[in-house]
Every structure is written in C-alpha cells, then in structure tokens.
C-alpha cells in the first residue's frame, strides 16, 4: 500500500487538468489555479451583493457591465435599506433594555453618530458628483475637440488631394512645355541665324543690305548674283 501526498494524487490522476469554465488544458493543477484566478474569461463568480437579491453567478470578465444592470442597482438599494433599518432596529433594541435617561442619551449619541456618518456620506457624494460633472465637462470638451480635429483633418485631406492634383497638372504642363521650349530654342537659333545672315540698317531712307562674313563668303563663292544693293532715290 502506498501513500500519495495530495499533489502527487493530482499529478498522477489528473495529468492535464482542464478548466471547467472554458475548457483550457493546463499542465498542472497549479497552472489551472493560476488560470482560474487570473486568465479565464469564462469563469463565473457570485456578485458581492448576492445576499441582497443580486446574481450568484456573474461572468468575471463582464463584472463591470454587471454593475450597470438594473438588478445590481436595485440590489444596492436593497442593501442600503437593510443597513438603514438595521441601524434603526439597533437603536430600538438597545432602547428596550435601558432606562429613559440612558435611552435618551444613547439615542442622542447614536443619532449624532448617524448624522455625522450621513454628513460624511453626503460629502463623499458631493465629491463624487463634482467628479462626475468634471468628467462630463471633460467628455464634452474632448468630444468637441475631437470633432474639431476631425473637421481639420477632413479639410487637410481635401487640400492635400487638391494639392496633389495641381502638382500632377503642373508636372503634365511642364512635360508639355519641354518640347515647346525645344521648338522655341530651335526657332530662336534659326532666327538668330537669319538675322546674322541678313541685317539691314536704314540711316537716311536708303536701304542697306549688310552681308556678314563677306570676304569669306566671297572666297567660298557663295554670292555670285549680287553683293551690294544700293537704292538711290
Ligand atoms: Zn482526484
Ligand atoms: Zn478557464
Ligand atoms: Zn450585482
């Protein structure tokens, strides 16, 4: 007969325990415990107010949503009512065993106490309400700002699109300009050539043809028909 410690038993009988909530397989019961405590998002827990009419099984991952449910809210009210009536019952219960003087004294004391507690609760509620209204203002401001930023962003995107288009147009235009300029350059060159070839200067109504490189052209025998035309009035 052999004896196992509890962990030996778990290791041997349940080598790969799986989570009963989500079915995840774990390597050891320690892993499973860790998984249930920290990771499992299917695990259910009882609400802290289960004794006051709230749910006994809430999915832990959805506990924040649970706090907003009607059932939980009415459980809070039930809880507060129970606390209040308990405090009143306490006063009555104590009163029945005391003489009038002590009763008066104790009631004064505990009503002072309750008043003080109520004041503290009121202050806390005030602070919380302040916090909530500050948060509300922040939310409004932030949503306002976010709207502004969104609008600015939209406008920026539109401007960017326009800019892109105009850059495209400009580059197309520049591309079209290049051959034009080449043609223009050729025109200028040929015009210059023409001007160099034929220049006439008029001083006194006489038309004078100027022929450049006269000598070399003469030498090359370019112009044989006329050399110089002088027009006499
Ligand atoms: Zn077992
Ligand atoms: Zn699980
Ligand atoms: Zn609850």
182 part of a folded domain: no
Nearest ligand (C-alpha, residue 21): 2
Over residues 164-198, the pLDDT tens digits come to 999 999 898 888 888 888 999 999 999 888 887 76
Over residues 120-169, the pLDDT tens digits come to 777 777 777 777 788 888 889 999 999 999 999 999 999 999 999 999 99
Same domain, 35 and 10: yes
218 part of a folded domain: yes
107 part of a folded domain: no
Same domain, 70 and 32: no
Same domain, 34 and 70: no
Residue 49 CB contacts under 8 Å (≥ 6 apart), including other chains:
72, 75, 76, 78, 79
Better-predicted residue by pLDDT, 31 or 221:
31
**CA 44 to mean position of chain CA atoms:** 33
CATH code of 26's domain: 3.30.160
221 part of a folded domain: yes
Local confidence band at 116 (pLDDT 50, 70, 90 cut-offs): confident
Query: Which residues sit opposite 198 in a β-bridge?
Result: 211
Same domain, 50 and 72: yes
Ligand 1 ion: residues within 5 Å (CB)? 13
Nearest ligand (C-alpha, residue 33): 2
Local confidence band at 100 (pLDDT 50, 70, 90 cut-offs): low
The Å distance, Cα 7 to ligand 1 centre, comes to: 10
Same domain, 36 and 59: no
Nearest ligand (C-alpha, residue 14): 1
82 part of a folded domain: yes
Same domain, 54 and 25: no
Same domain, 32 and 52: no
Same domain, 55 and 36: no
Local confidence band at 199 (pLDDT 50, 70, 90 cut-offs): low
Q: What is the pLDDT of residue 57?
A: 92
- CB count within 10 Å of CB 40 equals 19
- Kindly state the average pLDDT of the residues 69-98: 77
Query: Which residues sit opposite 44 in a β-bridge?
Result: 59
Nearest ligand (C-alpha, residue 25): 2
26 part of a folded domain: yes
Same domain, 59 and 93: yes
Better-predicted residue by pLDDT, 97 or 90:
90
Same domain, 58 and 91: yes
Better-predicted residue by pLDDT, 92 or 31:
31
* Averaged pLDDT of the chain: 78
178 part of a folded domain: no
Better-predicted residue by pLDDT, 78 or 92:
78
The Å distance, Cα 26 to ligand 1 centre, comes to: 15
Over residues 201-222, the pLDDT tens digits come to 555 655 555 555 666 656 655 5
Asked if residues 32 and 19 have their Cβ atoms less than 8 Å apart, the reply is yes
Compute the distance between CA of residue 28 and CA of residue 26 in angstroms, rounded to an integer: 6
Same domain, 29 and 55: no
Domain ranges, residue 64: 46-97
Domain count within the chain: 3
Q: Which two tokens stand for residue 25?
A: 């397989």
Looking at 57, 80, 97, the residue that finishes a domain is: 97
Q: What is the pLDDT of residue 85?
A: 83
54 part of a folded domain: yes
Local confidence band at 15 (pLDDT 50, 70, 90 cut-offs): confident
Q: Is the ipTM of this complex over 0.85?
A: no
Compute the distance between CA of residue 52 and CA of residue 151 in angstroms, rounded to an integer: 50
Q: What is the pLDDT of residue 104?
A: 58
């Amino acid at each position: 007969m052999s004896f196992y410690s509890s962990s030996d038993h778990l290791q041997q009988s349940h080598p790969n325990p799986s989570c009963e909530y989500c079915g995840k397989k774990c390597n050891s019961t320690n892993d499973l415990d860790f998984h249930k405590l920290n990771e499992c998002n299917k695990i259910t827990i009882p609400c802290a107010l289960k004794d006051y009419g709230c749910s006994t099984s809430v999915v832990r991952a959805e506990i924040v949503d649970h706090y907003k449910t009607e059932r939980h809210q009415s459980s809070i009210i039930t809880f507060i009512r129970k606390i209040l009536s308990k405090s009143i019952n306490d006063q009555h219960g104590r009163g029945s065993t005391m003489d009038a003087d002590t009763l008066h004294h104790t009631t004064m004391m505990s009503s002072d106490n309750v008043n003080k507690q109520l004041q503290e609760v009121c202050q806390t509620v005030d602070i919380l309400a302040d916090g909530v209204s500050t948060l509300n203002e922040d939310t409004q401001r932030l949503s306002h700002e976010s709207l502004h930023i969104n609008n600015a962003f939209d406008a920026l995107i539109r401007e960017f699109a326009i800019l892109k288009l105009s850059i495209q147009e400009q580059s197309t235009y520049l591309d079209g300009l290049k051959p034009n300029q080449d043609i223009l350059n050729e025109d200028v060159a040929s015009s210059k050539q023409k001007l160099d070839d034929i220049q006439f200067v008029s001083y006194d109504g006489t038309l004078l043809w100027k022929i450049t490189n006269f000598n070399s052209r003469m030498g090359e025998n370019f112009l044989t028909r006329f050399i110089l035309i002088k027009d006499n009035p």
